[in-house]
Structure 1
């Protein structure tokens, strides 16, 4: 977090001194693309380099196999995936901006939340471009809030939704006959089953942080306030019942709350070994995939709280100095297509939640979706949608991590 704050400060200073505005660099000749026909004419038979987190082999296989083959077949595009964490590619783009490197070395970014905020404010992104994408207008709900805001940050056409995610809970029905359906019920269950529940450690694990954020909605009784501005003092006051709840829970957790799994992967391992009876994650089809491959027994199932769980979205953006902007848009549009979205939803592929509006699918596409949802270890899109809580402003995500570290995890 400190590194991100330093990067944000560097960006602000550099662009104030340079007099740069959000958008493109000085030496890039901007493509003229007012229609999709322009994009097709300029984008075919190019190479597209995408910078993205490479820590999930299933996602890597999806990109290197299915996606690469399809964009090659449709557009003659060679897709080059470069594994790179967001702080790394943010620093890379910053250095290219400082060095006036135009054209640059990449065409696509997998990005969201505070990294999007920093990149957009620093002029590291090209746009707006989303109005050009035909699959968005045909298959997506144009009124959906996450097509306009990313954790409270106005998108303004500078990133395109790639998928949605929602915190889901996984349990073994052999040991958990009636899983708790709220944080209130969870406290009762944890006390009745000491040592058999935990969650990934903040501030570094995204899943653990989302679990705590979810608790804010139920335990404070608030909802819309988390998308509005408030002071740190007001947020600290609002946080008091949440802090009290998790302090009370700590002694009944795995290792009596004196240690936490350092990652979702470690939490999953504890679950697989029977040390804890529940785990959690954002990949809605992941559990079904683990059951199919025998990693988890058939008694393992997924669900969400009746009081809801945090949902958020992830996006694709084009760097300000991309050498192949039109080709990048062709790749984005394919990744947003029902074909690509349904493929990545498959539990054996990725298990990532689609971004499209299911009401806009044709009969064949709906049938494919229903087949995937029929798996006993899966959870339906309808259930997820009905129990989806909106993501908070990105500033509050940072504050929650700090509060947990100071007040809860340090106890």
Structure 2
């Protein structure tokens, strides 16, 4: 009898603890069954129902946030009964978190999907921090051309199915059509224009400005293929010296005589909108229409790329090695590269982000829609820009360029 009462009391305590655990988020501690290697897509869809997928992403743009909140999240819930939760976080924060999980042998993490860039991808691959390869399991993968290096190669590292391309953009110069009749198309012509219009050109000293300098670096290194492959110290040293000499030559004619530079591209946009300079720029070729619609840039803004080319790259979605809800995560990734989601994201009124889908591989009814994006009026079609596209060089180039710019141009007084 005593044993029976003891067992009965123990069972009640156990059930109470279990109940308290669930009320405090035991769902996040549940380890779901892994997705079988031979599971069909229908089986994955079935397994995904009811799952919650946690996406870690940059949340600094209100229009991107609105796209996710007002379109992606409701569609995933309605179509697939998958709940998507957005978590702020990117870059080194993600790497550090997953490194801790690795060292602690944590089999289930707090993130299921991540919006990542090339440097983060490289770091995660080195530490075996990514689940995959997985892109072949996504039905919408059939509309991605993996022979396209701007999709298949991320900062000179082959993707190999360990991340799913989500968007594709190209650096564009933006000029004011009311003050700049014919924008300079070559590096020499740009230097001449800067000297003829003192104080009317500059660039930010953050990511966008450094991408602009990377684009110029290609020309000084020898052309479109010159920086492809692993980082080459000799090539970088020679080409960057030519870049700094070019910049030192035009520096006295830059905004504020090149003694200071905008800290961010948003500050550069503000200078442009206030008519303090005649040029701004963006890493996203579609942003000119987007920012005009938002009232950030004037109606007279137009975008173009230099004849020598500008950097084009894709941004991606990766799955951590210890993601808890793989089935739901695969469903989310597949939806993100669906024609519906990609077209909506490409609209300047929504985001203006370029598609990663191949127009040639899309069904006929989608080709016309992607070839003529509604609202894209201030920049050439993406197919035309791609002819002047340059691959992202090795990530070491960006690191070195940023440090050398400070030393050679800012701190040296040149």
TM-score greater than 0.5 by the shorter chain: yes
Work out which of the residue numbers 108, 128, 132 in structure 2 matches 1:123. Answer: 128
Work out which of the residue numbers 46, 49, 52 in structure 1 matches 2:57. Answer: 52
Q: Deviations over 1:195-220 (max 9, x none)?
A: 1110010xxx2111110000012233
Q: Name 2:330's counterpart in structure 1.
A: 329
> 2:273 matched to 1:268?
no
CA–CA distance in 2 between the matches of 1:54 and 1:234?
37
CA–CA distance in 1 between the matches of 2:348 and 2:268?
19
- Give runs of aligned pairs for residues 1-400 of structure 1, distance below 5 A: 30-34=34-38, 35-137=40-142, 139-201=143-205, 205-372=206-373, 375-400=376-401
Distance change >3 Å, CA 407–CA 375, structure 1 → 2: same
CA–CA distance in 1 between the matches of 2:327 and 2:175?
45
Is 1:218–1:307's contact at 8 Å kept on the other side of the alignment? yes
CA–CA distance in 2 between the matches of 1:399 and 1:297?
34
Of the two, which has the highest radius of gyration?
A: 2
Distance change >3 Å, CA 265–CA 295, structure 1 → 2: closer
CA–CA distance in 1 between the matches of 2:360 and 2:400?
37
Taking structure 2 as the reference length, what is the TM-score of the superposition? 0.87
Q: Secondary structure of the residue that 1:225 maps to in structure 2?
A: coil
Is 2:63–2:350's contact at 8 Å kept on the other side of the alignment? yes
Q: Which runs of 5+ in 2 are unaligned?
A: 1-30
CA–CA distance in 1 between the matches of 2:385 and 2:374?
11
Q: Secondary structure of the residue that 1:67 maps to in structure 2?
A: helix
Q: How many residues matched? A: 381
Q: Deviations over 1:35-90 (max 9, x none)?
A: 32332232222100000111111111111111111111111011100111322222
Is 2:54–2:110's contact at 8 Å kept on the other side of the alignment? yes
- How far residue 288 of structure 1 moved from its aligned partner, in angstroms, is 1.1
Distance change >3 Å, CA 373–CA 28, structure 1 → 2: closer
Q: Which runs of 5+ in 1 are unaligned?
A: 1-26
Distance change >3 Å, CA 377–CA 148, structure 1 → 2: closer
RMSD of aligned Cα (Å): 1.9
Distance change >3 Å, CA 233–CA 62, structure 1 → 2: same
CA–CA distance in 1 between the matches of 2:37 and 2:73?
24
- How far residue 28 of structure 1 moved from its aligned partner, in angstroms, is 8.9
CA–CA distance in 2 between the matches of 1:283 and 1:229?
25
Structure 1 stretches of 4+ with a deviation exceeding 6 A read: none
Q: Deviations over 1:236-281 (max 9, x none)?
A: 1232211111111211111111100001111111111111111101
Is 2:166–2:336's contact at 8 Å kept on the other side of the alignment? yes
Taking structure 1 as the reference length, what is the TM-score of the superposition? 0.88
CA–CA distance in 1 between the matches of 2:269 and 2:363?
36
Q: Deviations over 1:87-117 (max 9, x none)?
A: 2222222222222222111100001211111
